[in-house]
Amino acid sequence: MSPAQRKRDFPVSDVRRYLEPGPVVLVSSRHGQQTDIMTMGWHTVLEFTPSLVGCLISSGNHSLQLVRASGACVINVPSTALTDIVVGIGNTSGAEIDKFEHFGLTPDKALKVKAPLIRECFASFECRLHDDALVDKYNFFIFEVVKAHVAPGRKPPQTLHYMGDGAFMTSGKIISRRSRFRPGML
Amino acid sequence: MSPAQRKRDFPVSDVRRYLEPGPVVLVSSRHGQQTDIMTMGWHTVLEFTPSLVGCLISSGNHSLQLVRASGACVINVPSTALTDIVVGIGNTSGAEIDKFEHFGLTPDKALKVKAPLIRECFASFECRLHDDALVDKYNFFIFEVVKAHVAPGRKPPQTLHYMGDGAFMTSGKIISRRSRFRPGML
């Protein structure tokens, strides 16, 4: 069993700290009684305030209909402790299995959306659909992060970054160049 | 002086290998006699074929006008050997200095666009503007990678991943779970 991550409120305008370095994330969704989880590697921060994230959910994903119908999702960041679960989620379909049950993950109630948080992830960002202008053409969704939950700690746990072909880069050492930044550029 | 990176042709449909893990990239551009370089951390792969990359170039960047006027750019991936140059480029303006000259970088001729490759980066992707539907609203550009150049080697050099507040995560160990993927999911 994976350890639960006790999370605290986190400013939505600062989610770039966790998403900009490019981790694979787990997107959880709910519509009616159905929930699902998918892996996602194609996403980018778009704005601090409102806190906007753009991401690609291709039509092969069972989650797509839950996200479209509910207009919401939760973006959860897993650490390398969940590597095999992340791979398993990406290689199964929510049309066939209940992913929470199958992978032993715990759905926690979100505050602002119906989609559940994944307790075992160290960061969970509640998202509402903000703009679907590019959904039909590119499957590109723009979400607003309306609530952020992050496990406290001086530095983030080790994350997974997909490279294709079954390989992941894991996060390494953190370095600071803060003193070389102009204040407005941090 | 930073070492030159001898690069070879690389399939444009595989650029996700270098961009999906979320590195800070250097965007080079040219319009008329003017060139510029900017740092960029907000980008995502959108499609394999055509090879599409979406990214945010905010209006504060001198490069914006060169990219818009020329409809092209080159996305270059620096290794950690260029950390201080990356920070310097992000904290200066192309309106005031010639960034190639100031930072001792070498512009190499691209094959399909006028923007120059940066010789000292280990990967350079020539891009043409593919869709500007979200430029006015979000400064979000969708580029097509029309030519890719990558320095050969079994694994990519160590990359920089920005976390805000002057801190970078560097890439760590690579792990493979290839045997656990269904063939169509790699």
Q: Which of A10, A17, A39, A46 to mutate to test the interface with B (most CBs of B within 10 A)?
A: A46
Q: Give yes or no for a contact between B166 and A177, defined as CB atoms under 8 angstroms apart.
A: yes
**CB atoms A165 and B186 under 8 Å:** yes
Residues making up chain B, counted from first to last: 186
Asked if A93 has any chain B CB less than 8 Å from its own CB, the reply is: no
d(CA A58, CA A56): 6
Distance, in Å, from the CA atom of A186 to the CA atom of B67, rounded to the nearest integer, reads 24
Q: Which SS3 state, helix, strand or coil, does residue A168 take?
A: strand
What is the model's pLDDT at position A40? 98
Nearest to A67 by CA among A162, A148, A140: A140
Q: How confident is the model at residue A1 (pLDDT cuts 50, 70, 90)?
A: low
Q: A174 and B163: CB-CB below 8 Å?
A: yes
Query: Measuring CA to CA, how many Å separate A49 from each of A11, A42, A53?
Result: 10, 21, 11
- Answer whether A16 sits within 8 Å of B163, measured CB to CB: yes
What is the rounded CA–CA span in Å between residue B53 and residue B66? 18
Q: Which token pair is B183?
A: 């063939």
E-strand spans in chain B? 8-10, 25-31, 34-40, 43-47, 52-56, 72-77, 107-108, 117-118, 123-131, 140-150, 160-162, 167-176
A chain contacts of residue B46, beta-carbon cutoff 8 Å: 42, 56, 138, 140
Q: Does A94 touch chain B (CB under 8 A)?
A: no
Residues 132-151 of B with CB under 8 A from A: 133-134, 137-138, 140, 142
Q: Do B171 and A171 touch (CB under 8 A)?
A: yes
Phi-psi region of A72 (alpha: psi -120 to 50; beta: other; left: phi over 0): beta
Check residue B184 and give its pLDDT: 86
User: What number is the ipTM of this complex?
Assistant: 0.96
pLDDT value at position B31?
Answer: 97
| Among candidates A91, A172, A180 on the partner chain, residue whose Cβ is nearest the Cβ of B181 | A91
Inter-chain contact B162–A21, Cβ cutoff 8 Å? yes
Q: Tokens in use for B126? A: 């020539």
| Rounded alpha-carbon distances, angstroms, from residue A170 to A44, B71, B176, B180 | 18, 34, 11, 18
pLDDT digits (tens, 9 = 90+) for A84-128: 999 999 999 999 999 999 999 999 999 999 999 999 999 999 999
Q: Which residues are CB-contacts of A125 (< 8 A; sequence separation ≥ 6)?
A: A12, A15, A18, A19, A53, A74, A75, A76, A145, A147, A148, A149
- Looking from the CA of A104 toward its CB, the CA atoms found within 13 Å total 7
Beta strands A117-118 and A123-131 are unpaired
Q: What is the pLDDT along chain B (186 residues), one digit of tens a residue?
A: 577 899 999 999 999 999 999 999 999 999 999 999 999 999 999 999 999 999 999 998 999 999 999 999 999 999 999 999 999 999 999 999 999 999 999 999 999 999 999 999 999 999 999 999 999 999 999 999 999 999 998 888 999 999 999 999 999 999 999 999 998 888
Distance from the A4 Cα atom to the nearest Cα atom in chain B, whole angstroms: 24
Q: What does each C-alpha distance from B114 to A138, A159, B28 come to in angstroms?
A: 27, 37, 10
> What's the confidence (pLDDT) of residue B1?
55
Q: A178 in contact with B at a CB cutoff of 8 Å?
A: yes
Q: What are the pLDDT digits (tens) for A30-69?
A: 999 999 999 999 999 999 999 999 999 999 899 999 999 9
